[in-house]
Amino acid sequence: MVPQRRGSRRRRRQSHLTQQCTRVVCLLILGKTASQPAEETVAASLPLSQPHLRRRHDNGNTVELVPNATVRLPLHAVAGTHHVTAWMGEPPQAQTLIVDTGSRLTATACEPCSQCGTTHAHPFPHLDPQRSSTLRYTQCGSCLLSGIQECAAEQKCGINQRYTEGSSWTAVEVSDTFVLGGPEISSLEQYVSFTIIFAFGCQQKVRGLFRTQYANGILGLERSDLSLIKRLWKENVIPRESFSLCMTPFEGYIGLGGPLRDKHTESMKYTPFTSTQSWYAVHVVRVFVGDECLTSNDQHDTVVEHALVEAFAEGKGTILDSGTTDTYLPKAVAGRMREIWARLSNTPFQPSSTYAYTYDEFRSLPIVTFELANNVTLQALPKNFMEDLPEPLRPWTGRRKLMNRLYADEVQGAVVGLNTMVGYDLLFDVQGNRFGVAPALCGIANSTPAATH
């Protein structure tokens, strides 16, 4: 049975959680990318936070160039969600984790867990704390992770996490060796110089779609003093508090410490994050459906147009969430979206329900372009947001039922999900409070030898 798409479950946190203190993490360095200078287009208004980094002058303004990633790790996708393999404990136990820029906490299902679903859905068995000689339970009074609700049994730190579509999990906080790598790793001994300790949630009960999902757990990549990226930077494992995601619909890489420039087909452009909170939000200037502006109206009413643009900034704003498979536009633009969609393609805009398309009708579906501050653009392509296409994509005869995974029902703001993020190297430059975008060839088959070292 094909696992359910994560985007349809809207797995985002409901509550705002706070951090309590810091802790170190560990990482296995699989390889270092070759340093390849590349010209980048940057804006003078962006933050400059490390004077020792390489800089250049652009139109008379001094700007900062982010160094290349020093570490890259392979990702694999199942049902539209991208995963990385982590090895925890000694001896190491493999766990597959969702790569999620929309979550703060890292957690995985642990034994004994009578309510964590059946293990046949997961690539690896649940983590067994009793098998690890290095795992330690954090005791009440010393809890590190956000979301601590109460002391669990035996004075362990309890964590509760809920998501908007109804799924949830409860866990206890543990610390153990934590190594990102590939499924072939069998020992940590040769990587001992990179092994430090990471605090994460050991799930004891899950509800909803967590029970049937492919992944064992989740790797939260939101900004936090306890995030993987922060701790790697604090421990001088990576040169900068940043990471990049370079993904195709089926695979890709996570780069730690900077972008993956050898993947780029065009120079990287930057836009500031609009918030310093844990989530990654960007400023949407305009949105185009095909060549028509979604955030304007036919009467050119400036009040209406302003309201359409402002809809993308409401609430948390427009957030970047790799853990949500699908893309969600504001409900305020739904009417205009239906009008433009029908005018350009002669088909109805009806997300989350099937429609039988001819191949020519599919070819007529519009590209949706997000124009962000500083002339940065992201495009949602029909081949990525329409579900049930033939693989590889090829013409078909007659009609084929497809499902649209581009929505216009977000009550506040918008969510740029994974189906808009593929085909780019996306830099989450936490240290510079900015987002970098470069069209890229992200397939593992396109890798240079440095990517496999």
List, for residues 100-120, the tens digit of each pLDDT value. 999 999 999 999 887 776 656
- Six-digit token string for 453: 């070292």
Give the end-to-end CA distance of the chain in Å, rounded to a whole number.
35
183 shares a domain with 286? no
The residue among 191 and 316 whose pLDDT is bigger is 316
213 shares a domain with 80? yes
Q: What is the pLDDT of residue 152?
A: 64
pLDDT exceeding 70 applies to what percent of the chain? Answer: 78
Q: What is the pLDDT of residue 305?
A: 80
Q: What is the pLDDT of residue 238?
A: 82
Q: What is the pLDDT of residue 192?
A: 52
Average pLDDT over residues 379-399: 95
Q: Is the residue at 207 inside a domain?
A: yes
Q: Is the residue at 304 inside a domain?
A: yes
Please give the tally of structural domains in the chain. 2
Beta bridge partners of 219: 99
Q: Is the residue at 28 inside a domain?
A: yes
The residue among 297 and 402 whose pLDDT is bigger is 402
Residue 32 has pLDDT above 60, yes or no: no
Q: Per the residue annotation, which of 100, 176, 326, 429 is the catalytic one?
A: 100
Q: 381 φ, ψ to 5°?
A: -95, 145
Q: Is 65 exposed, middle or buried (0-12, 13-18, 19+ CB in 10 A)?
A: middle
The residue among 36 and 252 whose pLDDT is bigger is 252
Helix (H, G, I), strand (E, B) or coil at 106: coil
167 shares a domain with 77? yes
Helix ranges (H only) for 235-353 are 302-310, 334-345
Q: Per the residue annotation, which of 321, 326, 425, 429 is the catalytic one?
A: 321
Average pLDDT over residues 211-223: 90
Residue 2 has pLDDT above 60, yes or no: no
In this structure, the chain runs to a length of 453
Q: Is the residue at 275 inside a domain?
A: no
355 shares a domain with 233? no
52-66, 144-158, 226-240, 341-355: lowest mean pLDDT where?
A: 52-66
Going by pLDDT thresholds of 50, 70 and 90, the confidence category of residue 55 is: low
Q: What is the pLDDT of residue 160?
A: 87
pLDDT, the chain, mean = 82
- Six-digit token string for 191: 């990587």
178 shares a domain with 101? yes
Query: Position 241: which residue type?
Result: E
122 shares a domain with 17? yes
Span 71-91, pLDDT tens digits? 888 999 998 899 999 999 988
Q: What is the CATH number of the domain that holds 285?
A: 2.40.70.10
97 shares a domain with 240? yes
16-20, 165-169, 266-270, 367-371: lowest mean pLDDT where?
A: 16-20
CB 404 within 8 Å of CB 368: no
Task: Give the span between the Cα atoms of 212 and 451, in whole angstroms.
Answer: 32
Going by pLDDT thresholds of 50, 70 and 90, the confidence category of residue 44 is: very low
Q: What is the pLDDT of residue 348?
A: 96
290 shares a domain with 260? no
**Domain with 195 in it:** 7-32+69-265+440-452
Beta bridge partners of 177: 197
Task: Give the span between the Cα atoms of 384 and 394, in whole angstroms.
Answer: 14
175 shares a domain with 300? no
pLDDT exceeding 90 applies to what percent of the chain? Answer: 55
120 shares a domain with 255? yes
Instruction: Indicate if 225 belongs to the active site.
Output: no
Q: Is the residue at 200 inside a domain?
A: yes
Task: Give the span between the Cα atoms of 8 and 11, in whole angstroms.
Answer: 8
Q: What is the pLDDT of residue 34?
A: 36
Q: Is the residue at 398 inside a domain?
A: yes
Task: Give the span between the Cα atoms of 259 and 246, in whole angstroms.
Answer: 9
Q: What is the pLDDT of residue 296?
A: 84
Cα 427 to Cα 86, 364, 403, 444, distances in angstroms? 21, 31, 30, 18
Q: What is the pLDDT of residue 122?
A: 81
Q: Is the residue at 49 inside a domain?
A: no
Q: What is the pLDDT of residue 299?
A: 60
Identify the DSSP state of 180: E
338 shares a domain with 203? no
CB 143 within 8 Å of CB 108: no
Q: Is the residue at 427 inside a domain?
A: no
Q: What is the pLDDT of residue 67?
A: 87
Average pLDDT over residues 38-53: 36
Instruction: Indicate if 176 belongs to the active site.
Output: no
Positive or negative torsion for Cα 191, 197, 198, 201: positive
151 shares a domain with 93? yes
Instruction: Give DSSP secondary structure letters for 114-161.
Output: TBS--GGGSSSPPB-GGG-SS-EEPBTTS--STTEEEE-GGGBEEEEE
Average pLDDT over residues 376-394: 95
Going by pLDDT thresholds of 50, 70 and 90, the confidence category of residue 64 is: low
Q: What is the pLDDT of residue 424?
A: 98
42-46, 236-240, 250-254: lowest mean pLDDT where?
A: 42-46
Bond from prior residue into 449 cis (ω within 30 degrees of 0): no
Span 116-141, pLDDT tens digits? 766 567 888 999 999 999 999 998 88
Q: What is the pLDDT of residue 37?
A: 36
